[in-house]
Structure 1
Amino acid sequence: MSALLAWLLTNPTILAIGAGLVGALGWGFHQRLAGARAERTKQAESDAAARNIADQIDNDIGALPAEAVRKELKSWARD
């Protein structure tokens, strides 16, 4: 058993294949994390844009007189 283990650990071909596997797994893990980071960034930009639009709407509604707001809301209410 120890002779087989010694042969595996001293064989350059086996070591190169093992290093290639470890490198490929590391690269795949890195790519997965980069994709998750990109998705979080995309979501944050989308949330910021939606928040900006919501703030603009709130500002527009706040600038209207109360009677105009009631009239506008009546058109959206169900009977």
Structure 2
Amino acid sequence: MFGALLAAIIGNKTLMALFAAVVGGISLYVAGGVNRAKKEAAKQAARNMAAAEDRLEMDREATAAERQAAGMTDAEAREVATKWAER
């Protein structure tokens, strides 16, 4: 009974074409979801890299300012700090 039903479905070209279209559509949907996830992960990685580069640059600027401030008097340091605070 089951074999006859299966043979009738497989032998019907319209049903097989419909089945193939449904399977193809589902495959494309799944592949698109994977692609979207990869693109989002790449965007997130780019944002993380940009943030890390910004932190590194700020650290370099702070280190240079600390080295410069080490040899200043209090008045000179206050003057430079005022300039930084105005930014």
TM-score range, shorter chain: 0.7 to 0.9
* Aligned residue in 2 for 1:9: 10
Gaps of 5+ in 2: 71-77, 82-87
Distance 1:28 1:42 in 2: 21
Instruction: Report the AA paired with residue 53 of structure 2.
Output: N
Deviates more, 1:4-13 or 1:60-69: 60-69
* Aligned residue in 1 for 2:74: none
**Structure 1: 4+ residue segments shifted above 6 A:** none
CA RMSD of aligned residues (A): 2.2
* Aligned residue in 2 for 1:45: 46
Shift, 1:50, TM fit: 0.4
Distance 1:26 1:65 in 2: 58
Instruction: Report the AA paired with residue 27 of structure 1.
Output: L
Aligned residues: 72
TM-score normalised per structure 1: 0.80
Work out which of the two has the higher radius of gyration on C-alpha atoms and give 1 or 2: 2
* Aligned residue in 1 for 2:19: 18
Instruction: Report the AA paired with residue 60 of structure 1.
Output: E
